[in-house]
Amino acid sequence: MKIICASFQCESNSGAKLHPQKYDFEYAKGEDIFQKLVVKEIFEKAGYTAVPSVYAVALPSATVEQDVYFYYANQILDTVRQNSDAAGVYIFFHGSMEVDGIGSGELYLLKEIRKIVSKDCVISLTMDAHANITDELGTYANIVSGFKTVPHTDQVQAQIRAAEGLVRALKTGEKPCLYVQRVPFLLKNDTVLTGEEPLKSIIEETLELEKLDGVYAVNAFLGHCWIDAPNTSASTVVCARDCETAKKIAKEVANKLWATRGVYKFKIEADEPEVCVDLALAGQENRIFITDSGDNTTAGAEGERTEMLRLFLSKDLQKPVCVAGITNQELVEKFWECADGTKVHLDEFGVDAVVKAHGNILGWGKELIGRSLTFCVGNLDIVFTEKRSAFIEKRNFDEANVDLLGYRVVVVKLGYLFTELKPFADREIFALSQGASCVELKKLNLQRIVRPMYPLEDFQWDAFEN
Ligand SMILES: [Zn+2]
């Protein structure tokens, strides 16, 4: 009795320009995938053979192009073809992978898998809390266990829940029914944290509901507003022994989720970029961070926007400021041979600058992925990187050879600061800047989403009537 195991993840961002390439995926195949997934032990303890396929996971990026998508999807399908008698399939998806010309990458793959496996094969999935769920998911999958935390800290538990659900279905012979209830609202990703109300109570309720007899999983998915696609929205997904129970719970939780729609707020100061710059320069705190949220590289943006930099260049700075991690390959290339201390002119910004530091940038796995070059314009230091990077911890500054502790104001391309940077921030200001990860939903110009959609429209809605 075999269970096929795989993972294929990339959170897409329609406004971003950099499509993930094959080499952008962290990749493993065969037994090595179980270094990344925790499900093998659960399946083997229950007497099943865990058959490894591939693990291919990329950082949030622009939509996935078909050649890259099929390069990995076909490897998973090959494993399924070679093991078409499998009793189960387990896949760890993100849930918001948008493939050019195809739509949901997850749904397409599931459809193809269903064509190969037997009708009794149980398909169980783990998904990110920001998954955009398609209405048809229940036609192809039986169980979904989503993360119940934002920021995400329960990736392991979500895998365990999905794996245990799969084993339970196989042992009991039950074929869980998966019901999807879309909820027509979009959340500003950065305002929604599961540790705080209003979401905290809803998540706690899903955990209670999962204890009911015959219930496999109860999920409240927040959706991912940066994909302009018909399946973009929040949703509830419930898996239960019988469809009526799944449907009833999904609609009840959906109504509760809908009721929270107007309540989400930023957890920190958030304002227009000009205001953030003035606040930071006037602030008395020892070190103030501004996050350039519209160009958040950890959300798929390129990190090449210079809106915040230009605002600082227009000011007479009385204290040391650093803008860290602007992607500009050309500029790094052009001045890389200049020794530290060399005076140069940055045409793009019309300013004279001094080359201050040569350094490195780190990839997601802390590996060195390229070069950084820091320029100094009076009290302002600007770190340019030849590749997209994310300054999420002090080590990123160290590798770039800039002294984080020497600055009173630091701008980074993030939404909220990562926990690792918080000890260095006496104050954190969230800039509502433009870009691919802009949190102002009305500025996103979404064309393909289902309408009406709160907050773009305000209207009455009840899950039991939809
Ligand atoms: Zn997420």
For the entire predicted model, the pTM comes to: 0.86
Residue 371's contacts (CB-CB under 8 Å, 6 or more residues apart) are 332, 336, 358, 359, 360, 361, 385, 386
- Residue 221 CA, ligand 1 centroid: distance in Å: 10
List per-residue pLDDT tens for the chain, 466 residues long: 999 999 999 999 998 888 999 999 999 999 999 999 999 999 999 999 999 999 999 988 999 999 999 999 999 999 999 999 999 999 999 999 999 999 999 999 999 999 999 999 999 999 999 999 999 999 999 999 999 998 889 999 999 999 999 999 999 999 999 999 999 999 876 778 888 889 999 999 999 999 999 999 999 999 999 999 999 999 999 999 999 999 999 999 999 999 999 888 887 899 999 999 999 999 999 999 999 999 999 888 999 999 999 999 999 999 999 999 999 999 999 999 999 999 999 999 999 999 999 999 998 778 899 999 999 999 999 999 999 999 999 999 999 999 999 999 999 999 889 889 999 999 999 999 999 888 888 888 899 999 999 999 999 999 999 9
Tokens standing for residue 71? 């390069």
- Residue 214 CA, ligand 1 centroid: distance in Å: 28
Cα 352 from Cα 355, distance rounded (Å): 10
pLDDT of residue 151: 82
- Residue 189 CA, ligand 1 centroid: distance in Å: 9
Per the CB < 8 A criterion, the answer to whether 287 and 424 are in contact is yes
- Residue 129 CA, ligand 1 centroid: distance in Å: 5
pLDDT of residue 205: 97
Edge-to-edge, what's the strand order for the sheet holding 288-292? 269-271, 427-431, 288-292, 409-412, 321-327, 380-385, 368-377, 351-362, 343-346
- Residue 210 CA, ligand 1 centroid: distance in Å: 22
Give the β-pairing of 343-346 and 351-362. Answer: antiparallel
- Residue 93 CA, ligand 1 centroid: distance in Å: 11
Tokens standing for residue 256? 């509760």
- Residue 319 CA, ligand 1 centroid: distance in Å: 36
- Residue 224 CA, ligand 1 centroid: distance in Å: 8
The domain limits of the chain are: 2-259, 273-431
Tokens standing for residue 165? 């659900």
User: Which residues crowd ion ligand 1, with CB under 5 Å?
Assistant: 128, 130
- Residue 154 CA, ligand 1 centroid: distance in Å: 11
Cα 367 from Cα 17, distance rounded (Å): 23
- Residue 55 CA, ligand 1 centroid: distance in Å: 18
For residue 259, report the phi and psi dihedrals to the nearest 5 degrees.
Answer: -65, -20
- Residue 74 CA, ligand 1 centroid: distance in Å: 25
**Which residues on neighbouring strands pair with residue 379, listed in sequence order?**
none
Tokens standing for residue 199? 């979401």
Cα 108 from Cα 97, distance rounded (Å): 10
Q: What angle do CA 405, 410, 413 make, to 5 degrees?
A: 130
pLDDT of residue 416: 87
Per the CB < 8 A criterion, the answer to whether 94 and 132 are in contact is no
- Residue 286 CA, ligand 1 centroid: distance in Å: 32
- Residue 255 CA, ligand 1 centroid: distance in Å: 22
* Closest to 73 (Cα-Cα) out of 103, 53, 101, 100: 53
Question: What are the angstrom distances between the C-alpha of 419 and each of 130, 206, 393, 422, 425?
Answer: 20, 27, 8, 5, 10
pLDDT of residue 251: 98
- Residue 235 CA, ligand 1 centroid: distance in Å: 14
- Residue 428 CA, ligand 1 centroid: distance in Å: 22
- Residue 199 CA, ligand 1 centroid: distance in Å: 15
- Residue 153 CA, ligand 1 centroid: distance in Å: 10
Question: What are the angstrom distances between the C-alpha of 222 and each of 86, 182, 235?
Answer: 32, 10, 7
**Which residues on neighbouring strands pair with residue 371, listed in sequence order?**
360
- Residue 152 CA, ligand 1 centroid: distance in Å: 7
3-state helix, strand, coil in the chain (%, to 5): 30, 25, 40
